[in-house]
Structure 1
Amino acid sequence: MKKAKPYFEQRRERRSFLRAGVAVAATGTLAGCDSLSHNETAVNVLRSAEALTESVHRVLGRRAMAQEFSPSQIAPVFRANGTTSPIGQSYAAMVADGFKDWTLTVDGLVDKPLELTMAELQAMPTRTQITRHDCVEGWSCIGQWKGVRLSHLLNMATLKPEAKFVVFRCLDQMDEKNEDTMYYESVDLDDAFHEQTILAWELNGKPLPVANGAPLRARIERQLGYKQPKYLHHIEVVSDFSDIAGGKGGFWEDHGYNWYGGI
């Protein structure tokens, strides 16, 4: 019997195929004879579109807002994707005790590092927003999120002048045989300080389910789903991410995705 590939490899191949397929559909001129996942022309077309989106967002800066929706448009069940329960005993223990001992660390290029409990986060000013999650796999789902603005925490921590990026570190190990495959993501300060960038502990009026990233996930509403890291426990402010993991700024970016996933 053929040995099954690790989960993240299966998902990478599926996502590469879909990304290339989108590019082919957009141009209407590219042949799909071989494996679309290796169609460099198709991928380059998609990258060009992503670069244009980034340029537009950067011109508009923090004023550009993602669309928000009415309560009547909220999906009855918010679809979970990617990992739906991190592997390993440590996370299972956190779930079992209701994340009682979980904390969020904020450090790196800051003057005042933070170590925050969920109770401390929930005592801060909150933002509630109804937004659409757009996945690179082609589906979308509308949900209501409640949490604290990331900007609030960054202002509390006081960034050093050389700070340029925020790196999100997660409890989500993508390959059970390799501890070096912990999920991570990053954004620049424009997205980090955006009004709609929040750290959410609530989905559709209830505590964030495990499948959707409990106890805390980022919502970076102007970007695609892979830029919305789940199972957060550590936020690091850096000047450069080239020496982190594969050096591309995120788990999926290290496996071929664009760093900027704007929509």
Structure 2
Amino acid sequence: MTRLTRRQFLVGSSLGASALALGGCDLLGSNDQTQTILGSAETLTMTVQRLLQSRGALAREFAEANVSPTFRVNGTSAPDSEEYARLREDGFQSWRLTIDGLVERPQQFSLLDLKALPARTQITRHDCVEGWSAIGKWTGVPLGSLLKSVGLKSSARYAVFHCADELEKTLDGSGRYYESIDLIDAFHPQTILAYAMNGQDLSIGHGAPLRLRVERQLGYKQAKYLMRIEIVESFAQLWGGGGGYWEDRGYEWYAGI
């Protein structure tokens, strides 16, 4: 009899629910009962994960020898906006990460600012909702330390990551990639804003100059080309209200593994 590990169980559960949400979106997307079932499955996934492990439990980390020889580029390979082209041309010297919203001290950070802060390096496995995995070595700033530096207001609940890549041309901006996590995952020790991969600055394909690594969730949560982190109380004012580009189109918001 085959025994599933906890990680395999959670990955399978997340993939299955996501596949149902996407594969049947045309037929079932407008069915309120179906949406309720999918929402319940997502809540169950999050509840099970957080019952099985403590808030600070770490995703598995690997040795240097386990780093994958190739690591596929997921999502956008390069944003095509004029703004990003200018940033890329000057080597991201003029790029700034803005942190605002429900914070006491909104701030902007250059890439040099971030690299001057205490860093964390971790070798972890990236699990894509498409079914492939790869192990990479990531270096960056713990997100929690940045959030502490700006001070969160009492109503803060979520960190929203606004990105430079636009996957769908829309007048209202809803086609621009964004993601979000709650503050439990935001302050997790393995949640970092990575500026290096495998000992080198991030490549364009892998999210330069900065990307999110939230190691206990699936690949689509690992937002690339970060421009702004907005701290919010809810997703009500964010485009489709799902908390992310793909979530607005049927993916689960909580993609824990």
Q: Aligned runs of 1:39-118 on 2, under 5 Å? A: 40=28, 50-59=42-51, 60-118=53-111
Identity %: 51
Conserved 8 A contact 1:135-1:226: yes
Q: Which amino acid is the alignment partner of residue 198 of structure 2?
A: N
Between 1:174-183 and 1:215-224, the stretch displaced more is 174-183
Of 164, 177, 185, 2:179 maps to 185
Conserved 8 A contact 2:103-2:231: yes
Between 1:198-207 and 1:54-63, the stretch displaced more is 54-63
2:47 is paired with a residue whose SS is: helix
Between 1:187-196 and 1:44-53, the stretch displaced more is 44-53
CA-atom RMSD, angstroms?
A: 2.4
1:55 is paired with a residue whose SS is: helix
- What count of residue pairs does the alignment treat as equivalent? 236
Query: Matches of 2:171 and 2:202 in 1, distance apart?
Result: 27
Segments of structure 2 that go 5 or more residues without pairing to the other structure are: 1-14
Matched, 1:234 2:228: yes
Query: Matches of 1:175 and 1:144 in 2, distance apart?
Result: 30
Q: Deviations over 1:93-133 (max 9, x none)?
A: 11111001000001111111111111110111100001111
Query: Matches of 1:246 and 1:117 in 2, distance apart?
Result: 30
Larger RCO (CA under 8 A, 6+ residues apart): 2
Query: Matches of 2:118 and 2:90 in 1, distance apart?
Result: 26
2:167 is paired with a residue whose SS is: strand
User: Which residue of the partner structure matches residue 167 of structure 1?
Assistant: 160
Q: Deviations over 1:155-197 (max 9, x none)?
A: 0011011100000000011124646111111110000000100
Q: How has the CA–CA distance of structure 1 residues 107 and 177 changed in structure 2, closer, same or farther, with 3 Å as cutoff? A: closer
User: Which residue of the partner structure matches residue 150 of structure 2?
Assistant: 157
Q: Please, what TM-score do these two structures have when normalized by structure 2?
A: 0.84
Query: Matches of 2:136 and 2:206 in 1, distance apart?
Result: 11
Query: Matches of 2:196 and 2:19 in 1, distance apart?
Result: 32
Query: Matches of 2:48 and 2:56 in 1, distance apart?
Result: 11
Matched, 1:209 2:203: yes
Deviation at 1:44, TM superposition (A): 8.1
Deviation at 1:46, TM superposition (A): 7.0
Segments of structure 1 that go 5 or more residues without pairing to the other structure are: 1-17, 24-34
Q: Deviations over 1:193-212 (max 9, x none)?
A: 00100000000000000001
